[in-house]
């Protein structure tokens, strides 16, 4: 994009006769004065902190000697569904990507104008025009308001330290020589596919962000209440993005693949796989009219009817809420049900101790773990570090979630130990464990492991009773490398277990 000229370019769909994509390079001054984007209520809160805006200001000052500074890309969607500016006949574009920088630009402009007495007249006029054109959304979340106020105060403190010459030099460069690539896309699906990086100072996009965008759009179509949509976003935002991505990409997605004997893609879960988490559209033209969708839709109707008929009893705690019977291998209903599904599996994962990367905030929520899994977690948490052990632990996590999805928490202590011993057979029999090793073991049993044939995921999803899984024999293990492995397979006893064994021997 850096080589793109300021002249707008477009591609035309010959079937529609309208521009589907226009791209232009626009100065910060023009963006603030004329863009006036609409930031939908379902967009994530304004999350930049004082550190982020300080880095942005520092970068602008550092690039000033270079003559120009390109500050990323904005992606806008122009469609009939956009919220319109009721003061004008011209519809306001929805901002798909770039809201964090747009709002930060607005705060910088306000901060600069706070020193109007030290600015030249033309900069005062430019900043005043820019400030008048700025569109800052009214949100009900405390986080956005807090960050906007804190960053505004911080930016005013920064510019208050500059000399008049520094102030005017920065203002001129910021308004006229800092620019942004603005992509205007009519097709919202295409806009979200282009949404491949978030802010220049933000985190990379996860494929789950594309799912969020898709299902929010479907939610808005099926439920006109903005409060309902906003509540779904609030619940989503309360979970760290990395945790949501881990649950979907490293737990639910592998289970979907392995259950039907499909190998995991080499690059893992990507934007090419998001359709697995799109499913039933409830409108008249959607695929909900097909028979395969009816069981899921009927289950949703039954749950909704129960809550409607018993709203008073539920409100007073007389009866318990009826949970939707989610199944990983069943299709998801687009929109609200996707967010309910994610909430369900995040909760299950936390309770099962499936937290993902140790650096994730969710990984530290040990209090959420079900105490019945404490002994197995104690053994697995003591395993040596290393990627091979991590790959096997992720396989165990998937097996445990598949079991919970099928049978709930019935006999979970026995199930967890059985599934851990099955997964860690890879560490017993292989010197090195790679993702391909895990993939083979998950789908058919690794050929280096005696008597470990068959697809345990497929067996679980088709089993009618947990005993048919838990009573099956496992390959015997007479020797295992590390002490935690030997403890897992009962080759080392804890002190209490050893005393109990000695006592039994004495009785004999």
pLDDT of residue 140: 59
Do the beta carbons of residue 309 and residue 321 sit within 8 Å? no
- The per-residue pLDDT for 313 is 92
pLDDT of residue 206: 77
Question: What are the tokens at 24?
Answer: 């232009």
User: In this predicted structure, what is the pLDDT of residue 225?
Assistant: 65
Strands 178-185 and 69-77: parallel
First-to-last C-alpha distance (Å) of the chain: 81
| Mean residue pLDDT across the chain | 82
Q: CA-based angle 8:13:17, to the nearest 5?
A: 90
Give residue 362's pLDDT: 38
Tokens standing for residue 330: 């069943």
- Angle at alpha carbon of residue 214, lines to 86 and 439, rounded to 5°: 165
How far, in Å, are 311, 320, 322, 415, 466 from residue 232 at the CA level? 20, 21, 19, 33, 34
What are the residue ranges spanned by the domains of the chain? Answer: 9-205, 206-369, 375-508
The per-residue pLDDT for 288 is: 86
Give, as one character, the DSSP assignment of residue 88. S
d(CA 65, CA 68): 8
DSSP string, 250-284: IIIHHHHHHHTTPPPPTT-S-GGGGGGG--B--ST
CB 92 within 8 A of CB 84: yes
State residue 108 phi and psi, 5-degree precision. -65, -45
Residues 6+ apart with CB under 8 A from 170: 60, 61, 64, 112, 159, 162
Please give the model's pTM, rounded to 2 decimal places. 0.65
Query: Residue 177 belongs to what H/E stretch?
Result: none
**Shortest CA distance to 390 belongs to which of 378, 377, 380, 401?**
380
Containing 444, the helix (H) or strand (E) segment is helix 435-444
Running along the chain, 508 residues long, what does each successive block of 10 average in pLDDT?
35 40 84 84 80 93 86 74 45 82 94 94 90 70 84 96 95 93 69 45 67 82 70 83 93 98 92 90 80 94 93 91 94 93 96 68 60 95 92 97 98 96 92 94 87 89 96 82 85 55 48
Sheet (strand 69-77) strand order? 9-12, 19-27, 178-185, 69-77, 94-97
- Are 458 and 261 in contact by the 8 Å Cβ rule? The answer is yes
pLDDT of residue 8: 36
pLDDT at 169: 94
- Tokens 């050893």 correspond to what residue? 498
Per-residue pLDDT, 139: 59
The pLDDT of residue 364:
44
β-pair partners for 183: 23, 75
């Amino acid at each position: 994009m850096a080589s793109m000229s300021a002249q707008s370019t477009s591609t035309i769909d010959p079937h529609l006769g309208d521009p589907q994509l226009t791209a232009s390079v626009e100065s910060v001054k023009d963006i603030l004065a004329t863009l006036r984007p609409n930031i939908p209520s379902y967009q994530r809160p304004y999350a930049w902190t004082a550190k982020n805006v300080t880095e942005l200001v520092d970068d602008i000052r550092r690039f000033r000697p270079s003559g120009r500074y390109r500050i990323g890309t904005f992606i806008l969607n122009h469609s009939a569904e956009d919220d319109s500016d009721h003061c004008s006949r011209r519809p306001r574009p929805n901002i798909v990507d770039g809201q964090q920088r747009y709002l930060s630009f607005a705060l910088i402009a306000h901060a600069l104008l706070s020193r109007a007495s030290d600015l030249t007249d033309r900069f005062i006029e430019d900043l005043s025009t820019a400030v008048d054109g700025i569109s800052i959304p009214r949100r009900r979340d405390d986080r956005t308001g807090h960050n906007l106020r804190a960053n505004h105060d911080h930016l005013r403190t920064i510019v208050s330290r500059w000399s008049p010459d520094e102030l005017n030099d920065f203002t001129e460069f910021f308004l006229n020589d800092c620019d942004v690539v603005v992509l205007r896309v009519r097709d919202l699906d295409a806009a979200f596919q282009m949404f491949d990086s978030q802010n220049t100072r933000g985190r990379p996009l996860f494929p789950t962000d594309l799912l969020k965008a898709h299902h929010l759009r479907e939610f808005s179509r099926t439920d006109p209440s903005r409060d309902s949509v906003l509540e779904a976003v609030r619940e989503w935002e309360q979970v760290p993005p990395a945790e949501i991505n881990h649950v979907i990409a490293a737990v639910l997605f592998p289970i979907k693949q392995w259950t039907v004997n499909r190998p995991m893609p080499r690059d893992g879960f990507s934007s090419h796989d998001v359709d697995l988490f799109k499913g039933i559209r409830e409108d008249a033209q959607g695929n909900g009219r097909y028979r395969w969708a009816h069981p899921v839709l009927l289950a949703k109707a039954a749950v909704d009817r129960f809550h409607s008929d018993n709203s008073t009893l539920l409100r007073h705690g007389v009866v318990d809420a009826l949970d939707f019977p989610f199944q990983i291998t069943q299709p998801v209903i687009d929109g609200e049900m996707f967010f309910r599904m994610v909430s369900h599996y995040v909760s299950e994962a936390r309770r099962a101790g499936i937290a993902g990367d140790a650096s994730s905030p969710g990984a530290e929520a040990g209090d959420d773990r079900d105490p019945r899994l404490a002994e197995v977690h104690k053994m697995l948490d003591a395993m040596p570090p290393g990627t091979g052990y991590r790959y096997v632990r992720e396989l165990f996590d998937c097996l445990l979630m598949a079991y919970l999805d099928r049978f709930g928490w019935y006999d979970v202590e026995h199930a967890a130990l059985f599934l851990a011993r099955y997964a860690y057979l890879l560490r017993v029999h292989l010197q090195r464990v790679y993702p391909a090793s895990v993939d083979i073991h998950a789908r058919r049993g690794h050929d280096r492991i005696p008597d470990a044939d068959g697809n345990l995921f497929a067996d679980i999803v088709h089993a009618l009773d947990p005993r048919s899984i838990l009573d099956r024999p496992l390959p015997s293990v007479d020797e295992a490398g590390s002490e935690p492995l030997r403890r897992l397979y009962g080759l080392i006893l804890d002190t209490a277990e050893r005393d109990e064994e000695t006592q039994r021997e004495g009785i004999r």
